[in-house]
Amino acid sequence: MSKSRPNASERKSVLQRRQHEKMAESAHAYVRGNTVQFYQWLQSKAVQAALPAGPDVWICGDCHTGNLGPVADVDGNIDIQIRDLDQTVIGNPAHDLVRLGLSLAMAARSSDLPGVTTALMLEEMISGYVTALSGGTNRVDINEVEPIRRVMVEAKTRRWKHLAEERIENVKPTIPLGKKFWSLNAAERAELEKLFASDDIKNLVQRIDGKDAREVRLLDAAYWMKGCSSLGQLRYAVLLGIGTKKRPEYRLLDIKEANAAAAPHAKGVKMPANNADRVVTGACALSPFLGERMLSGMIGQRTVFVRELRPQDLKFELVGLQQKEAVAIASLMAGVVGRAHGRQVPREERLAWAKELKTRHGKGLDAPRWLWSGVLDLAALHEAAYLEHCRRYALGESAA
Protein backbone atom coordinates (compact mmCIF):
# COMPACT_ATOMS: atom_id res chain seq x y z
CA MET A 1 0.00 0.00 0.00
CA SER A 2 1.21 3.49 -0.83
CA LYS A 3 0.56 5.57 2.29
CA SER A 4 -0.22 8.59 0.16
CA ARG A 5 -2.54 6.73 -2.21
CA PRO A 6 -4.40 3.87 -0.50
CA ASN A 7 -6.95 2.07 -2.61
CA ALA A 8 -10.60 1.71 -1.56
CA SER A 9 -9.99 -1.46 0.47
CA GLU A 10 -7.10 0.14 2.38
CA ARG A 11 -8.77 3.43 3.27
CA LYS A 12 -10.39 2.47 6.57
CA SER A 13 -7.18 1.78 8.50
CA VAL A 14 -5.48 4.91 7.14
CA LEU A 15 -8.47 7.09 8.02
CA GLN A 16 -8.71 5.67 11.55
CA ARG A 17 -5.01 6.30 12.14
CA ARG A 18 -5.30 9.87 10.87
CA GLN A 19 -8.35 10.52 13.05
CA HIS A 20 -6.44 9.37 16.14
CA GLU A 21 -3.47 11.57 15.17
CA LYS A 22 -5.65 14.66 14.79
CA MET A 23 -7.45 14.09 18.08
CA ALA A 24 -4.13 13.71 19.89
CA GLU A 25 -2.88 17.12 18.70
CA SER A 26 -4.51 19.09 21.54
CA ALA A 27 -7.34 18.97 24.05
CA HIS A 28 -9.28 21.43 21.88
CA ALA A 29 -8.78 19.22 18.81
CA TYR A 30 -9.98 16.25 20.85
CA VAL A 31 -13.18 18.08 21.80
CA ARG A 32 -13.84 18.98 18.16
CA GLY A 33 -13.33 15.40 17.02
CA ASN A 34 -15.11 13.59 19.85
CA THR A 35 -18.80 14.33 19.44
CA VAL A 36 -20.01 11.02 20.88
CA GLN A 37 -18.97 11.84 24.45
CA PHE A 38 -20.94 15.08 24.35
CA TYR A 39 -24.08 13.33 23.13
CA GLN A 40 -23.72 10.63 25.78
CA TRP A 41 -23.48 13.34 28.44
CA LEU A 42 -26.67 14.93 27.11
CA GLN A 43 -28.55 11.64 27.58
CA SER A 44 -28.10 11.75 31.36
CA LYS A 45 -31.41 12.31 33.17
CA ALA A 46 -29.71 14.74 35.55
CA VAL A 47 -28.40 16.80 32.64
CA GLN A 48 -31.77 16.78 30.89
CA ALA A 49 -33.44 18.00 34.08
CA ALA A 50 -30.90 20.81 34.52
CA LEU A 51 -30.98 22.19 30.98
CA PRO A 52 -33.77 24.61 30.03
CA ALA A 53 -36.05 23.62 27.17
CA GLY A 54 -35.91 26.22 24.45
CA PRO A 55 -38.19 26.35 21.40
CA ASP A 56 -37.89 23.45 18.96
CA VAL A 57 -35.64 24.80 16.20
CA TRP A 58 -33.02 23.50 13.83
CA ILE A 59 -29.78 23.40 15.81
CA CYS A 60 -26.24 22.76 14.63
CA GLY A 61 -25.89 19.73 16.89
CA ASP A 62 -22.09 20.04 16.86
CA CYS A 63 -21.66 23.72 17.61
CA HIS A 64 -17.93 24.12 18.25
CA THR A 65 -15.73 27.07 17.29
CA GLY A 66 -14.27 25.31 14.24
CA ASN A 67 -17.74 25.04 12.74
CA LEU A 68 -18.26 28.80 12.59
CA GLY A 69 -16.63 31.10 10.09
CA PRO A 70 -17.07 33.36 7.07
CA VAL A 71 -19.41 31.95 4.43
CA ALA A 72 -20.29 33.43 1.03
CA ASP A 73 -23.66 33.40 -0.70
CA VAL A 74 -24.16 32.95 -4.45
CA ASP A 75 -23.76 36.71 -4.99
CA GLY A 76 -20.45 36.89 -3.13
CA ASN A 77 -21.80 38.50 0.05
CA ILE A 78 -19.97 37.31 3.17
CA ASP A 79 -21.30 36.68 6.66
CA ILE A 80 -20.16 34.66 9.66
CA GLN A 81 -22.39 31.60 9.84
CA ILE A 82 -22.33 27.95 10.88
CA ARG A 83 -20.16 25.99 8.43
CA ASP A 84 -20.85 22.33 9.22
CA LEU A 85 -24.33 20.85 9.59
CA ASP A 86 -23.73 17.07 9.58
CA GLN A 87 -25.40 16.73 12.99
CA THR A 88 -28.19 19.25 12.49
CA VAL A 89 -31.56 18.27 13.97
CA ILE A 90 -34.66 19.98 15.29
CA GLY A 91 -33.83 20.11 18.96
CA ASN A 92 -33.14 22.15 22.07
CA PRO A 93 -31.05 25.28 21.36
CA ALA A 94 -29.49 24.93 24.81
CA HIS A 95 -27.51 21.97 23.42
CA ASP A 96 -25.73 24.27 20.96
CA LEU A 97 -24.94 26.71 23.77
CA VAL A 98 -23.34 24.05 25.96
CA ARG A 99 -21.32 22.63 23.07
CA LEU A 100 -20.11 26.10 22.08
CA GLY A 101 -19.31 26.94 25.70
CA LEU A 102 -17.19 23.79 26.03
CA SER A 103 -15.32 24.55 22.82
CA LEU A 104 -14.62 28.13 23.89
CA ALA A 105 -13.41 26.93 27.29
CA MET A 106 -11.01 24.47 25.66
CA ALA A 107 -9.77 27.19 23.28
CA ALA A 108 -8.99 29.34 26.34
CA ARG A 109 -7.19 26.41 27.95
CA SER A 110 -5.15 25.77 24.80
CA SER A 111 -4.14 29.45 24.85
CA ASP A 112 -2.96 29.13 28.50
CA LEU A 113 -5.46 31.72 29.68
CA PRO A 114 -6.40 31.86 33.39
CA GLY A 115 -9.59 30.17 34.57
CA VAL A 116 -11.31 33.49 35.20
CA THR A 117 -11.23 34.04 31.44
CA THR A 118 -13.53 31.08 30.92
CA ALA A 119 -16.06 32.57 33.34
CA LEU A 120 -15.91 35.90 31.51
CA MET A 121 -16.27 34.14 28.15
CA LEU A 122 -19.42 32.32 29.25
CA GLU A 123 -20.90 35.56 30.56
CA GLU A 124 -20.24 37.32 27.26
CA MET A 125 -21.40 34.28 25.34
CA ILE A 126 -24.87 34.42 26.89
CA SER A 127 -24.98 38.20 26.51
CA GLY A 128 -24.09 37.96 22.81
CA TYR A 129 -26.57 35.14 22.21
CA VAL A 130 -29.47 36.90 23.95
CA THR A 131 -28.75 40.18 22.15
CA ALA A 132 -28.79 38.48 18.74
CA LEU A 133 -31.80 36.36 19.66
CA SER A 134 -33.73 39.48 20.58
CA GLY A 135 -32.85 41.15 17.29
CA GLY A 136 -30.18 43.46 18.67
CA THR A 137 -26.74 44.28 17.25
CA ASN A 138 -23.63 42.76 18.80
CA ARG A 139 -21.45 45.46 20.31
CA VAL A 140 -18.25 43.62 19.38
CA ASP A 141 -16.33 45.37 16.59
CA ILE A 142 -14.82 42.67 14.36
CA ASN A 143 -12.01 45.03 13.38
CA GLU A 144 -10.84 45.14 16.99
CA VAL A 145 -10.58 41.34 17.34
CA GLU A 146 -7.45 40.41 15.40
CA PRO A 147 -8.06 36.64 14.90
CA ILE A 148 -11.49 37.44 13.44
CA ARG A 149 -10.48 40.58 11.53
CA ARG A 150 -7.57 38.79 9.85
CA VAL A 151 -9.73 35.95 8.51
CA MET A 152 -12.54 38.27 7.38
CA VAL A 153 -10.09 40.45 5.44
CA GLU A 154 -8.63 37.34 3.81
CA ALA A 155 -12.11 36.05 2.92
CA LYS A 156 -12.99 39.28 1.12
CA THR A 157 -9.89 39.15 -1.09
CA ARG A 158 -9.85 35.48 -2.05
CA ARG A 159 -10.52 34.23 -5.58
CA TRP A 160 -10.68 30.86 -7.37
CA LYS A 161 -6.86 30.70 -7.53
CA HIS A 162 -6.63 30.83 -3.74
CA LEU A 163 -9.26 28.11 -3.30
CA ALA A 164 -7.52 25.86 -5.83
CA GLU A 165 -4.08 26.34 -4.27
CA GLU A 166 -5.42 25.74 -0.76
CA ARG A 167 -7.76 22.83 -1.39
CA ILE A 168 -6.15 20.94 -4.27
CA GLU A 169 -2.69 22.58 -4.31
CA ASN A 170 -3.08 23.09 -8.03
CA VAL A 171 -4.50 25.82 -10.28
CA LYS A 172 -4.69 23.47 -13.26
CA PRO A 173 -8.03 21.71 -13.96
CA THR A 174 -6.98 18.49 -12.23
CA ILE A 175 -6.99 17.10 -8.69
CA PRO A 176 -3.46 15.85 -7.95
CA LEU A 177 -3.42 12.53 -6.10
CA GLY A 178 -1.31 12.33 -2.97
CA LYS A 179 -1.67 12.64 0.79
CA LYS A 180 -5.14 14.25 0.77
CA PHE A 181 -6.65 13.01 -2.49
CA TRP A 182 -6.84 9.33 -3.37
CA SER A 183 -7.75 7.52 -6.55
CA LEU A 184 -11.27 6.26 -7.19
CA ASN A 185 -12.21 2.76 -8.20
CA ALA A 186 -14.30 2.18 -11.32
CA ALA A 187 -17.57 1.84 -9.39
CA GLU A 188 -17.04 5.13 -7.53
CA ARG A 189 -16.21 7.00 -10.71
CA ALA A 190 -19.31 5.63 -12.43
CA GLU A 191 -21.52 6.69 -9.50
CA LEU A 192 -20.07 10.20 -9.48
CA GLU A 193 -20.51 10.54 -13.23
CA LYS A 194 -24.12 9.44 -12.81
CA LEU A 195 -24.70 11.97 -10.02
CA PHE A 196 -23.14 14.84 -11.94
CA ALA A 197 -25.06 14.06 -15.10
CA SER A 198 -28.31 14.76 -13.24
CA ASP A 199 -30.39 17.87 -13.83
CA ASP A 200 -30.26 18.63 -10.09
CA ILE A 201 -26.50 19.14 -10.17
CA LYS A 202 -26.65 21.20 -13.35
CA ASN A 203 -29.39 23.36 -11.88
CA LEU A 204 -27.36 23.85 -8.69
CA VAL A 205 -24.26 24.94 -10.57
CA GLN A 206 -26.26 27.18 -12.88
CA ARG A 207 -28.10 28.75 -9.94
CA ILE A 208 -24.82 29.42 -8.18
CA ASP A 209 -23.28 30.86 -11.33
CA GLY A 210 -26.24 33.18 -11.87
CA LYS A 211 -26.29 32.74 -15.63
CA ASP A 212 -28.29 30.85 -18.24
CA ALA A 213 -27.84 27.12 -18.69
CA ARG A 214 -24.38 26.22 -19.90
CA GLU A 215 -22.47 23.03 -20.36
CA VAL A 216 -21.34 21.40 -17.13
CA ARG A 217 -18.50 18.86 -17.37
CA LEU A 218 -16.93 16.66 -14.72
CA LEU A 219 -13.20 17.25 -15.20
CA ASP A 220 -11.74 15.27 -12.31
CA ALA A 221 -12.68 13.61 -9.03
CA ALA A 222 -10.93 11.96 -6.09
CA TYR A 223 -11.59 10.52 -2.65
CA TRP A 224 -10.89 13.28 -0.11
CA MET A 225 -9.29 12.63 3.28
CA LYS A 226 -10.75 15.55 5.18
CA GLY A 227 -12.28 16.38 8.55
CA CYS A 228 -11.90 14.62 11.88
CA SER A 229 -15.07 13.20 13.42
CA SER A 230 -16.34 12.40 9.91
CA LEU A 231 -13.21 10.55 8.78
CA GLY A 232 -14.24 7.13 7.49
CA GLN A 233 -17.40 8.33 5.76
CA LEU A 234 -17.59 8.80 2.01
CA ARG A 235 -15.96 12.07 0.99
CA TYR A 236 -15.15 13.17 -2.55
CA ALA A 237 -13.80 16.28 -4.24
CA VAL A 238 -15.15 16.96 -7.72
CA LEU A 239 -13.80 19.54 -10.14
CA LEU A 240 -16.30 20.84 -12.69
CA GLY A 241 -15.78 22.83 -15.85
CA ILE A 242 -18.52 25.23 -16.87
CA GLY A 243 -18.99 26.90 -20.23
CA THR A 244 -16.98 26.48 -23.41
CA LYS A 245 -13.73 24.53 -23.46
CA LYS A 246 -11.91 27.59 -24.80
CA ARG A 247 -13.04 29.84 -21.93
CA PRO A 248 -14.02 27.55 -19.06
CA GLU A 249 -14.77 28.47 -15.49
CA TYR A 250 -14.16 26.01 -12.68
CA ARG A 251 -16.12 24.93 -9.62
CA LEU A 252 -14.91 22.70 -6.80
CA LEU A 253 -17.60 20.63 -5.08
CA ASP A 254 -17.47 18.67 -1.84
CA ILE A 255 -19.51 15.45 -1.70
CA LYS A 256 -19.97 14.06 1.79
CA GLU A 257 -21.85 11.07 3.14
CA ALA A 258 -24.83 11.87 5.36
CA ASN A 259 -25.31 9.41 8.20
CA ALA A 260 -27.96 9.35 10.91
CA ALA A 261 -27.48 12.21 13.36
CA ALA A 262 -26.11 11.26 16.77
CA ALA A 263 -27.33 14.57 18.20
CA PRO A 264 -30.56 14.18 20.21
CA HIS A 265 -33.64 15.68 18.59
CA ALA A 266 -36.90 16.94 20.05
CA LYS A 267 -39.66 14.40 20.51
CA GLY A 268 -42.54 14.37 18.07
CA VAL A 269 -40.98 16.70 15.49
CA LYS A 270 -40.99 15.93 11.78
CA MET A 271 -37.64 15.94 10.01
CA PRO A 272 -36.70 14.60 6.57
CA ALA A 273 -36.22 10.82 6.72
CA ASN A 274 -33.39 11.08 4.21
CA ASN A 275 -30.25 12.16 6.11
CA ALA A 276 -28.89 14.23 3.24
CA ASP A 277 -32.21 16.07 2.99
CA ARG A 278 -32.02 16.65 6.76
CA VAL A 279 -28.58 18.25 6.44
CA VAL A 280 -29.61 20.48 3.54
CA THR A 281 -32.86 21.54 5.25
CA GLY A 282 -31.00 22.35 8.46
CA ALA A 283 -28.38 24.31 6.53
CA CYS A 284 -31.05 26.42 4.82
CA ALA A 285 -32.56 27.25 8.22
CA LEU A 286 -29.33 27.92 10.12
CA SER A 287 -26.91 29.10 7.44
CA PRO A 288 -28.80 30.29 4.36
CA PHE A 289 -25.61 31.43 2.62
CA LEU A 290 -24.40 27.82 2.75
CA GLY A 291 -27.76 26.11 2.32
CA GLU A 292 -28.42 27.73 -1.06
CA ARG A 293 -25.22 26.09 -2.35
CA MET A 294 -26.16 22.56 -1.32
CA LEU A 295 -28.32 19.66 -2.48
CA SER A 296 -28.81 16.00 -1.60
CA GLY A 297 -28.05 12.95 -3.73
CA MET A 298 -27.07 9.30 -3.75
CA ILE A 299 -23.81 7.42 -4.28
CA GLY A 300 -24.93 3.84 -4.72
CA GLN A 301 -27.20 3.13 -1.76
CA ARG A 302 -25.66 5.83 0.45
CA THR A 303 -27.07 9.31 0.91
CA VAL A 304 -24.72 12.23 0.30
CA PHE A 305 -24.97 15.99 0.24
CA VAL A 306 -23.20 18.16 -2.29
CA ARG A 307 -21.76 21.56 -1.43
CA GLU A 308 -20.12 24.02 -3.76
CA LEU A 309 -16.93 25.34 -2.15
CA ARG A 310 -16.22 29.05 -2.26
CA PRO A 311 -12.88 30.84 -1.83
CA GLN A 312 -14.45 32.92 0.94
CA ASP A 313 -15.41 29.90 3.08
CA LEU A 314 -12.86 29.85 5.89
CA LYS A 315 -12.67 28.91 9.55
CA PHE A 316 -11.23 30.71 12.53
CA GLU A 317 -8.10 29.29 14.18
CA LEU A 318 -8.32 30.21 17.86
CA VAL A 319 -4.77 29.76 19.12
CA GLY A 320 -2.62 32.03 21.24
CA LEU A 321 -5.58 34.17 22.27
CA GLN A 322 -5.36 37.14 24.60
CA GLN A 323 -8.06 37.47 27.28
CA LYS A 324 -9.75 40.46 25.65
CA GLU A 325 -9.84 38.64 22.29
CA ALA A 326 -11.21 35.45 23.82
CA VAL A 327 -14.06 37.25 25.59
CA ALA A 328 -14.99 39.21 22.45
CA ILE A 329 -14.92 36.06 20.31
CA ALA A 330 -17.25 34.30 22.76
CA SER A 331 -19.80 37.10 22.39
CA LEU A 332 -19.40 37.24 18.62
CA MET A 333 -19.75 33.49 18.01
CA ALA A 334 -22.72 33.18 20.35
CA GLY A 335 -24.35 36.01 18.44
CA VAL A 336 -23.99 34.03 15.21
CA VAL A 337 -25.74 31.08 16.85
CA GLY A 338 -28.41 33.35 18.35
CA ARG A 339 -29.28 34.75 14.94
CA ALA A 340 -29.36 31.26 13.43
CA HIS A 341 -31.79 30.05 16.10
CA GLY A 342 -33.82 33.25 16.25
CA ARG A 343 -34.62 33.57 12.56
CA GLN A 344 -36.65 30.36 12.81
CA VAL A 345 -39.22 31.43 15.41
CA PRO A 346 -41.68 34.31 15.92
CA ARG A 347 -40.62 37.33 17.97
CA GLU A 348 -42.70 36.30 20.98
CA GLU A 349 -40.95 32.93 21.24
CA ARG A 350 -37.53 34.53 20.79
CA LEU A 351 -38.16 37.00 23.59
CA ALA A 352 -39.55 34.29 25.88
CA TRP A 353 -36.44 32.14 25.33
CA ALA A 354 -34.18 35.15 25.94
CA LYS A 355 -36.04 35.90 29.18
CA GLU A 356 -35.65 32.27 30.28
CA LEU A 357 -31.89 32.48 29.77
CA LYS A 358 -31.58 35.77 31.66
CA THR A 359 -33.63 34.62 34.66
CA ARG A 360 -31.56 31.49 35.28
CA HIS A 361 -28.27 33.20 36.03
CA GLY A 362 -26.18 31.84 38.88
CA LYS A 363 -25.29 33.77 42.01
CA GLY A 364 -22.27 35.98 41.37
CA LEU A 365 -21.97 34.81 37.76
CA ASP A 366 -23.70 36.68 34.97
CA ALA A 367 -24.42 33.44 33.09
CA PRO A 368 -26.84 30.57 33.68
CA ARG A 369 -25.76 28.11 36.33
CA TRP A 370 -26.62 25.16 34.07
CA LEU A 371 -24.20 26.44 31.42
CA TRP A 372 -21.32 26.91 33.86
CA SER A 373 -21.88 23.52 35.50
CA GLY A 374 -22.27 21.78 32.16
CA VAL A 375 -19.05 23.23 30.76
CA LEU A 376 -17.16 22.30 33.94
CA ASP A 377 -18.43 18.72 33.82
CA LEU A 378 -17.67 18.32 30.13
CA ALA A 379 -14.23 19.94 30.37
CA ALA A 380 -13.24 17.49 33.11
CA LEU A 381 -14.63 14.51 31.18
CA HIS A 382 -12.92 15.50 27.94
CA GLU A 383 -9.61 16.34 29.63
CA ALA A 384 -9.42 12.86 31.15
CA ALA A 385 -10.54 11.22 27.91
CA TYR A 386 -7.99 13.24 25.93
CA LEU A 387 -5.10 12.14 28.14
CA GLU A 388 -6.24 8.51 27.91
CA HIS A 389 -6.51 8.87 24.13
CA CYS A 390 -2.93 10.21 24.00
CA ARG A 391 -1.65 7.39 26.24
CA ARG A 392 -3.21 4.75 24.03
CA TYR A 393 -2.07 6.51 20.87
CA ALA A 394 1.52 6.73 22.19
CA LEU A 395 1.48 3.01 23.02
CA GLY A 396 0.19 2.18 19.57
CA GLU A 397 -3.13 0.86 20.84
CA SER A 398 -6.46 1.39 19.08
CA ALA A 399 -7.44 4.74 20.59
CA ALA A 400 -11.08 5.20 21.55
Q: Say if residue 169 is in the same domain as residue 283.
A: yes
pLDDT at 294 exceeding the cut of 80? yes
Residues 326 and 279 in one domain: no
Provide the domain count of the chain. Answer: 2
Q: Which of 289, 309, 329 is the last residue before a domain boundary?
A: 309
Phi, then psi, of 131 in degrees rounded to 5:
-60, -50
Q: Tell whether 186 and 109 lie within a shared domain.
A: no
Q: What is the pLDDT of residues 56-89, one digit of tens each?
A: 999 999 999 999 999 999 888 999 999 999 999 9
Residue 185: domain span: 160-309
Report if residue 319 sits inside a domain. yes
Do the domain assignments include residue 4?
no
Task: Give buried/exposed letters for 74-84 (b at 16+ CB in 10 A, else e).
Answer: eeeebbbbbbb
In a domain, 1, yes or no: no
Q: Render 250-310 in DSSP notation, one character per residue.
A: EEEEEEEE-PPP-S---TT----SSHHHHHHHHHHHH-HHHHTTEEEEEETTEEEEEEE--
Cα atoms in the Cβ-side hemisphere of radius 13 Å centred on 254? 21
Residue 253 lies in a domain: yes
Assess whether pLDDT exceeds 80 at residue 319. yes
In a domain, 254, yes or no: yes
Q: In this structure, which long-range contacts are made by residues 144-148, counting pairs with CB atoms below 8 Å and at least 24 apart in sequence? A: 144/328, 145/325, 145/328, 145/329, 145/332, 146/325, 147/316, 147/317, 147/318, 147/321, 147/325, 147/329, 148/80, 148/316, 148/328, 148/329, 148/332
Judge whether 3 lies within some domain: no
Q: Are residues 143 and 270 in the same domain?
A: no
- Do 168 and 294 reside in the same domain of the chain? yes
In a domain, 71, yes or no: yes
Is 242 contained in some domain? yes
Mean pLDDT of the chain: 86
- pLDDT at residue 1 in the model: 44
Is the domain of 167 the same as that of 302? yes
Kindly report the backbone phi and psi dihedral angles of residue 222, in degrees, each rounded to the nearest multiple of 5, phi listed first.
Answer: -155, 155
How remote is the C-alpha of 340 from its chain's centroid? 14
pLDDT at residue 177 greater than cutoff 70: yes
Last residue of a domain, one of 309, 344, 373: 309
Is 135 in the same domain as 49?
yes
pTM of the model: 0.89
pLDDT digits (tens, 9 = 90+) for 153-169: 999 988 877 777 766 65
The residue among 309, 333, 366 that closes a domain is 309
* Beta pairing partners, 303: 298
